[in-house]
Amino acid sequence: MNKILIAFALFTLGLNAQSKLQPNIHASLNLGQTITDNTLGLEDSKYVINKVLLYNKETLEQRVYQNQAKSIAIDLDQVKTGVYTAMVYVNGDVKVFNLDIVGLSSSENYETTEAAEVAVLKEKKPAVVEVVKVPEAPVEVKEKKIKFYRVVSTVAFKYSSSKYNVFTEKRKDALIRKNELDLTTRIGKKNTLVVYAVYLDRSEEMIYDTGAVKDFNKTLPAGNELSSL
């Protein structure tokens, strides 16, 4: 009888285990983040979340969640316990934060009676490889009209810094691709690039920052930098 009570007590602790959101790496992160019943909820009020990547630098485990909605729910009970770097792809930007995942209590490691083990198995959540929220119909996203892109660029080995505007998506995308490539080279690894979208209503939004890319790449083993993901 005592063994049964111990088993239920351990399992109850497991159900109450709650993962934790760590301080954001990306200072301009604008993303709704909640954890309820050990389910991570992410939501962007304006744009569709295209993909979420969880990376554990200790186990080298990578989990990718494809998505085509403004929100996504991820069951953290299906992810191994550990500290993960979360990388969220939204509107051409990459938003990064840390996540301390706490799984269900491993009560199976203790000596229990057969009756207690059966009770624990009945209460456990069903195994799911990935939980991805996909809308039944395409989500219509209304985006503000972009007037131009404001660029702040530094080239470390030349000790130079420049600010200028670009007016086409093609030019903006080319600058970002070049910066991502620079970060993989010896000469350009200290170069920086920050890109702001300037809208017709005069509001601004940062859509790319080298700092976020560098911080995420620090958690990856050699050969797995952002440009190769």
Query: Mean pLDDT of residues grouped by 10 in the chain (229 residues)?
Result: 48 55 55 84 89 88 91 90 88 84 52 51 54 58 81 92 94 94 90 94 90 58 46
Between the CA atoms of 158, 163, 169 and 171, what dihedral angle is there, to the nearest 10 degrees?
A: -30
Contact 52, 89 (CB under 8 A): yes
Q: pTM of this prediction?
A: 0.39
DSSP strand E in the chain: where?
20-24, 32-36, 39-43, 49-56, 61-69, 71-75, 82-90, 93-101, 146-155, 160-166, 192-199, 204-209
